[in-house]
Structure 1
């Protein structure tokens, strides 16, 4: 009798920011999650186009180094300051372009979806997210806030949360897919 080899899926989570974009990689094998790597892509002060290029190149470098099969990105929230929201949206666009330019599928999740998936409570504090990421991935120490948010996004994707746009033109109600 032959055995069926099960291959882990590597997921890259991204928490976009113009100054700091967190990234986190996990391997998913069935219901088991294993930490692979995490860190931050930092941009220097300067003109916006150069900072966006740093983010784009940084995401491409992470992808080239770690070879994920899927990308999960936190969806931008609306700030009180419209200028901050616009800049965050541009950073998010650069991060997504970095992933799609490497031919990877991208799923998007709101902060509420990520927190609900990882902590069980959609309005959890950052510290609660960090703690649960540490527990779920059996880490010796709590990751920094940006890396933790990125890892949480990857965990959310692994848990099967339905990304925004994952089912274009469809919506869910009571667990059923509606066309």
Structure 2
């Protein structure tokens, strides 16, 4: 199964595609989509959509794992991320790829085995599971790969997705 993990944002969107086969993970493609703060917000959303469309044409994903939105401190930033996330979900929906959502605690539990693990622990375990020489940068990319690994581990369960 090819899984595309997406860590949503509006300045930096991490992505990580992995192949999950016989309980092994193989990294296929990973990186980040970035937008310029010099652009107005609608233009940034359009850039995200266009880049997601291109990524979805390159990666034959069978599932998309995306982080559930949560924000507690900065509501304005959270709303902007929600808009970007909506654009990302729209692109996935147009390609008819099932979308699976995970909380940060679910990702930590699945990748490290402990739902309260530190970010560094998740990044290091993701690196080890994917047999990478170093933790991918930026952090958003490592987070996206962790989401893909989480979905691989959870894919045998009945999970909610959007159609």
State TM-score, norm by structure 2.
0.91
CA drift of 1:91 comes to 1.1
Of 134, 158, 165, which residue of structure 1 is paired with 2:160? 165
How far apart, CA to CA, are the structure 1 residues paired with 2:3 and 2:46?
23
Give the unaligned 5+ runs of structure 2. Answer: none
How far apart, CA to CA, are the structure 2 residues paired with 1:42 and 1:96?
17
After superposition, what is the alpha-carbon deviation per residue over 1:4-53, rounded to whole angstroms, capped at 9, x for unaligned?
xxxxx110000001100000000011211111110000011121111111
Of 4, 10, 28, which residue of structure 1 is paired with 2:2? 10
1:26 counterpart residue number: 18
How far apart, CA to CA, are the structure 2 residues paired with 1:98 and 1:164?
20
How far apart, CA to CA, are the structure 2 residues paired with 1:56 and 1:102?
12
Q: Is the 8 A contact 1:71 1:104 kept in 2?
A: yes
SS of equivalent to 1:150: helix
CA drift of 1:57 comes to 1.3
Give the unaligned 5+ runs of structure 1. Answer: 1-8, 168-179
Q: Which has the higher helix share?
A: 2
Q: Is the 8 A contact 2:108 2:116 kept in 1?
A: yes
**Structure 1 residues 1-179: aligned runs within 5 Å:** 9-45=1-37, 46-144=39-137, 145-160=139-154, 165-166=160-161
Q: Which has the higher contact order (CA 8 A, sep 6+)?
A: 2
CA drift of 1:165 comes to 3.0
How far apart, CA to CA, are the structure 2 residues paired with 1:139 and 1:130?
11
How far apart, CA to CA, are the structure 1 residues paired with 2:25 and 2:150?
11
- Aligned pair count reads 159
How far apart, CA to CA, are the structure 2 residues paired with 1:147 and 1:153?
10
State TM-score, norm by structure 1.
0.83
Q: Is the 8 A contact 1:107 1:163 kept in 2?
A: no
How far apart, CA to CA, are the structure 2 residues paired with 1:98 and 1:54?
12
